[in-house]
Amino acid sequence: MSNNFEPIGIAVVGCGNISDQYLTNLLRFPDVKVVACADIDLTRASAQAAKYGVPRSADLATVLEMPDVELIINLTIPAVHASVALQAIRSGKHVYGEKPFALSIEEAQTITAAAAEHKVKLGNAPDTFLGAGLQTARRVIEADHIGTPISAKATFGYPGPDAWHPNPEFLFQKGGGPLLDMGPYYLTALVQLFGPVKTISGFGRRAQNRRTIGSGPRAGETFEVAVDTQISALLEFASGPIATVRFSFDEPIATRELEVHGTGGAIRLPDPNAFDGSVFVCKKDLNKNTPNEWLDAPTDADWTEFPAEGSAEGRGMGALDLARAARSGGTPRASADLALHVLDIMESIIRSAASGQSVAVATTCKVAEPLPANWNPLQKSTQ
């Protein structure tokens, strides 16, 4: 096969905290070429361009006029995700954005409609479900190691990002909080395993109305908390399983759990905010156990390890998959429909918490095609 795949030109827009991970990874993928960095703060854009050897830096409007920029990687703060995405789409650029997709379903639907109108590809983080860890978990469940999934438990808790992020305010405003910040990893992983969510009951609280920046040049400054920082919810999936989820910036003890129980056993998944990590399976054989063993919790020895198989190159894998889809005419796996449904789940949790009523989720999405275990971001495509 001839090697005629032209690398897709990328501009990274938003050169803050997370841009280092994207720039490090995208520069190693031969199917994409980072040609520009942009930020509302031009010194940040030029500093990241200089650090990573990216040829140009500019403001968003200038970058959108560059003909060799085909794909915008939107790493701005949640409050401007939609406006940056819309400007890029209306300039005919493909867009891959960081989570959350937008601040509201209406904003998200405006973006998807614009992408359809301008015939550009649209995708969104998280792409961690494309990593070796969660892809292996999906293969293990599909190979029937735990029987039919019945329930899931997802928990993420810690004291909050005000301790480490140098500019943490956006993580405590609309578009932030533990649900919008960390929920996308856990909820996307669950939707990839079970399909769309049908009904939701949620509850929310906040432990503090003001927080203090804990590190960096602004340490000691305080700011207002505008969202709930303790969220619990029950999710009923259309395919049957029920999940219990909890997200917290209020808990002093850090927890990260993602577990699925089926008719034949249970599986512990790796951290869904990471691309790697083994999967552990515990099976119960109904015929071999005596009745009183049914109440015993399994010991560590009862869990069998399945090492992660696949690529774990990190953030940017979803953007690369989108870039390849832009060339081939395919559908990006970290798709806008998936991100929109996950946003709808989170919005529904908040609506349910505010109203005290269960909420029916209006949107739906398709589960992305699994990645072949030999999918390789470091290899140049041949078509």
Amino acid at 321: D
Q: Residue 375: how many CB atoms within 10 A of its CB?
A: 18
Q: Is 78 in the site for ligand NAD (CB under 6 A)?
A: yes
Measured CA to CA, the distance from residue 133 to residue 227 in angstroms comes to: 31
Measured CA to CA, the distance from residue 363 to residue 360 in angstroms comes to: 9
CA atoms within 13 A on the CB side of 16: 15
Select the residue whose beta carbon is closest to ligand NAD and give its number.
16
Residue 180 or 260 with smaller CB distance to ligand NAD: 180
Measured CA to CA, the distance from residue 72 to residue 75 in angstroms comes to: 9
Per CB under 6 A, the list member of 75, 213, 245, 267 interacting with ligand NAD is: 75
- Residues 43-72 interacting with ligand NAD (rule: CB under 6 A): 44, 60
Least Cβ distance, residue 63 to ligand NAD (angstroms): 9
Least Cβ distance, residue 218 to ligand NAD (angstroms): 12
Q: Mark the segment that binds ligand NAD (CB under 6 A) among 8-16, 105-113, 129-137, 337-345.
A: 8-16
Q: Is 89 in the site for ligand NAD (CB under 6 A)?
A: no
Least Cβ distance, residue 58 to ligand NAD (angstroms): 10
Least Cβ distance, residue 285 to ligand NAD (angstroms): 41
Least Cβ distance, residue 30 to ligand NAD (angstroms): 24
- Residues 168-207 interacting with ligand NAD (rule: CB under 6 A): 181
Residue carrying the six token digits 């559908």: 331
Amino acid at 239: S
Q: Is 44 helix (H, G, I), strand (E, B) or coil?
A: helix
Residue 98 or 321 with smaller CB distance to ligand NAD: 98
Measured CA to CA, the distance from residue 76 to residue 12 in angstroms comes to: 9
Per CB under 6 A, the list member of 9, 10, 14, 189 interacting with ligand NAD is: 14
Q: What does the radius of gyration of the chain's CA atoms come to, in whole angstroms? A: 21
Angle, alpha carbons 38-90-94 (nearest 5°): 65
| Residue ranges binding ligand NAD (CB under 6 A) | 13-18, 39-41, 44, 60, 75-78, 80, 84, 98-99, 167, 181
